[in-house]
Amino acid sequence: MPQPSRSWRRVALAMFAVGWGANQFSPLLIEYRHALSLGAGVLAGLFAIYAATLIPGLLIGGPVSDRIGRRPVVLPFVVASPVASLLLMLGPRSLPVIAAGRALAGLCSGVVFGSATAWVQELSDDPAASARRSAVALSAGFAVGPAVAATLAEWAPHPLVLPYLPHVIIGLLAALFLWPAPETAGRAHRAAPALATPAPATAAEPDRAAQSRRWPPRAVRTARFWLAIAPAAPWVFAIASLAFVVLPEEVTKAGHLSVGFAGLMTAIAVASGIAIQPVARRLETRRRLAGNLSGLICATAGLALAAVVVAVSSRPGAVVCAVLCGLAYGQCLVSGLRECERLAGRREHGAVVACYYALTYVGFGAPYLVDGLNGPLGRSGTFAALAVLAALCAAWTAWYTRTAPSRPARGGIARAGSSQSLTQG
């Protein structure tokens, strides 16, 4: 069996592969629009189908993996992820088949992201780095998938078929690589240590077990989750989706280079998010939720610049916006996952992470919000209004983290070597 200190890489590769499959569709929306003569409503529907199955997958997969184990929950959906891409390859011009492929991709993403994030954190030998490892794996998939898909759609034949082939191959290899990863949750895992070193029963133990089975999880019912984590959570994917879904359309006319530019914007935004994550980790070590604050400041700057960029239709300016949005995405994601790790009890870790991801995916509604606000506010006015909203969230986070106590929840998954970061802030 692989050593636990290295086994997290197997799970991280699975997250990378599923993240690839989740985001490869985004730059291809332009190609589908042209090839199938689809309207904005149909495109929005294809995008919404993914979220409609992803959020239930998150809310179900995380708690179930806490109870029965990570592998029996994660592995089948890592296998199903390339099947979703295969559906898109087999029915490139059939809306029902495309919708089915997107629905399956969303379900796989939801189940895997929450459960596998908890799995990576539990297998990591360095607790302070565990949140960054899962965030980097997910972000790398989000970046590479659309970059490869956009490149193939732009310059290879069969632009609605070949872009999905790399993910089919990577996804199957990731499933094989994941198989030997050791289990860290579920009844069988908890029973094994008990046989070797029986722990004395306490009166509080039944109550703690009952608490861990309640829904939503205990950590999610705390004020700190909703006042410290939740305000920044939707910005994780809101700011990312604005960078690679909205901005490419706002600064360029539909044409031959549209797919390529959308893929470039996606890769730049997510690559920036990956690059900043070590910095976010260091910020979190010094002060809890400092990454959220710094990320929201970057989001404010990126949205304010976007208000100017869309007015002059500047592609170079849009690239700068993508960098700022990526910095915001990466810092907020690491900070939110790190705080969930601090607050969650061992038996509810997957459920808490799943609830956090569900809040982050609310941000994928940002493109629809922009469409709705463009009428009354105009394109520049919409981005300016969003910049003001991000600034208000940053101000709230700054105030709350200075005034609220930041005691870690009892029963959290803190391990040796992480006590310092748990008590700071």
At a CB cut-off of 8 Å and minimum separation 6, what does 16 contact?
A: 137, 138, 140, 141, 144, 174
Q: How confident is the model at residue 244 (pLDDT cuts 50, 70, 90)?
A: confident
Angle in degrees, CA 317, 321, 327, rounded to 5: 150
CA atoms of 266 and 302, how far apart (whole Å) = 15
The position carrying tokens 């002060």 is 287
Phi, psi of 70 (to 5 degrees): -75, -45
- The answer to whether residue 416 scores a pLDDT higher than 80 is no
Ranges 214-218, 235-239, 263-267, 334-338: which has the least confidence: 214-218
Q: Is the confidence at residue 318, as pLDDT, over 90?
A: yes
Give the span between the Cα atoms of 367 and 369, in whole angstroms. 5
Tokens of 348: 């509810």
Q: Each residue of 358-412: pLDDT tens digit? A: 899 888 778 878 878 888 999 899 999 999 999 999 999 999 888 765 554 444 4
What is the mean predicted confidence (pLDDT) over 24-41? 81
Q: For 351-376, give one letter per residue: b (16+ CB within 10 A) or e.
A: bbbbbbbbbbbbbbbbbebbeebbee
**Residue with token string 């989000």:** 142
C-alpha distances in Å from residue 379, one per residue of 101, 259, 339, 383: 32, 21, 35, 7
DSSP labels for 85-130?
HHHHHH-TT-HHHHHHHHHHHHHHHHHHHHHHHHHHHHH-S-HHHH
Beta carbons of 135 and 27 less than 8 angstroms apart = no
Domains plus CATH for the chain? 10-178+221-408 (1.20.1250.20)
Contacts (Cβ under 8 Å, ≥6 apart) of 267 = 143, 144, 146, 147
Cβ atoms of residues 277 and 334 within 8 Å: yes
pLDDT tens column, 106-126 = 999 999 998 998 898 888 877
Reply yes or no on whether the pLDDT at 23 is more than 90.
no
Measured distance CA(190)–CA(139) in Å, rounded = 31
127 preceded by cis ω (within 30°)? Answer: no
Under DSSP, is residue 179 helix (H, G, I), strand (E, B) or coil?
coil
Residues in the chain: 425
Q: How far apart are the first and last CA of the chain?
A: 39
Q: What is the pLDDT of residues 130-139, one digit of tens each?
A: 777 888 888 8
Q: What is the dihedral of CA 58, 321, 371, 357, to 10 degrees?
A: 10
Average pLDDT over residues 179-205: 58
| Lookup: tokens for 93 | 């011009």
Q: What is the pLDDT of residue 214?
A: 66
| Residue in the structure block whose two tokens are 């184990």 | 69
pTM over 0.85: no
CB 281 within 8 A of CB 310: no
Give tens-digit pLDDT for 280-314.
Answer: 888 888 888 899 999 999 999 999 999 999 999 89
Contacts of 205 (CB under 8 A, 6+ apart): none
Q: 65-69, 105-109, 190-194: lowest mean pLDDT where?
A: 190-194
Burial class of residue 131 in the structure, from the number of CB atoms within 10 Å of its CB (0-12 exposed, 13-18 middle, 19+ buried):
buried
Assess whether pLDDT exceeds 50 at residue 353. yes
Q: What is the mean pLDDT of the chain?
A: 82
Decide which of 164 and 256 is more confident. 164
User: Which of the pair, 170 or 39, is modelled with greater confidence?
Assistant: 170
Q: What percent of the chain shows pLDDT beyond 90?
A: 37
pLDDT number for residue 419: 30
233 compared with 204, residue with greater pLDDT: 233
User: How much is the pLDDT for 82?
Assistant: 96
Report CA-CA distances (Å) from 162 to 89, 106, 153, 283, 318. Answer: 7, 21, 7, 41, 28
Cβ–Cβ under 8 Å, residues 142 and 333: no
| Amino acid, res. 324 | L
Which residue(s) pair with 412 in the sheet? 345
Per DSSP, the three-state class of 345 is: strand
Q: What Å distances lie between residue 262 and 76, 102, 130, 145, 240, CA to CA?
A: 31, 19, 31, 12, 12
With pLDDT > 70 as the criterion, what percentage of the chain qualifies?
84
Could you give the dihedral angle defined by the CA atoms of residues 276, 277, 280 and 281, in that order, rounded to the nearest 10 degrees? -150
